[in-house]
Amino acid sequence: EPEVTQTPSHQVTQMGQEVILRCVPISNHLYFYWYRQILGQKVEFLVSFYNNEISEKSEIFDDQFSVERPDGSNFTLKIRSTKLEDSAMYFCASSASGRSGTEAFFGQGTRLTVV
Amino acid sequence: GQNIDQPTEMTATEGAIVQINCTYQTSGFNGLFWYQQHAGEAPTFLSYNVLDGLEEKGRFSSFLSRSKGYSYLLLKELQMKDSASYLCAVRPSPGNTPLVFGKGTRLSVIA
């Protein structure tokens, strides 16, 4: 069964360092997302991406964050200068169509720990 | 603002039935999703409701009342592997737009 894959599964980084989280969405999907989940809290939307551009972003997604689809398969989230409060599980998701009822398929997540 | 409320924790016995409630107040409504999330893993899709009524899928059913801003997930014939968090999420805007999640209900199934 097709799945969204994310690498690495766990990343530890020092405060102020740049990190890039990588995702390979399901191959025929057109809509891509990043969500995050701070330990013990709810899943929060960061950004959505369609047709090679950001379609929507939340207040969390400030200038320190960027996304890119560098080739036909990868979808990356970059955090330019990490802060302690960026420690969270980051989930990539993708979905197939633009209909409201289309479910998002989530990857296994990258656990980011900023020290 | 967007607000989605679920109970924090529930416990139920193997073989029993459990109902997990979700109430929402959102800027718009274009469907409600239930996801299952085992500890440390990705959320996986369970169900989608956009019209009032009950949607049944095997041991899992989901109900929606738009006028009351209310949904529930019903799990029958509980198994130990059903121990997980159950996330209620609403899509406020039309199209394939971001989901707003509740905090999730952690369900423990005991023997």
Residue A53 confidence (pLDDT): 93
Check B96 against A31: CB less than 8 A apart: yes
pLDDT in tens, B4-52: 999 999 999 999 999 999 999 999 999 999 999 998 888 999 999 999 9
Spans of chain A, pLDDT less than 70: none
Of B28, B47, B15, nearest to B100 by C-alpha is: B28
Q: CB contact, 8 Å: A63 with chain B?
A: no
Q: Which of A31, A43, A59, A91 to mutate to test the interface with B (most CBs of B within 10 A)?
A: A43
A99/B95 touch (CB, cutoff 8 Å), yes or no: yes
* Total residues found in chain A within this entry: 115
Q: What are phi and psi of A86, to 5 degrees?
A: -80, -10
d(CA A7, CA B27): 34
Structure tokens at A95: 């979905």
d(CA A16, CA B69): 43
By the CB < 8 Å criterion, does A91 face chain B?
A: yes
Interface touch A56/B96, C-beta < 8 Å: no
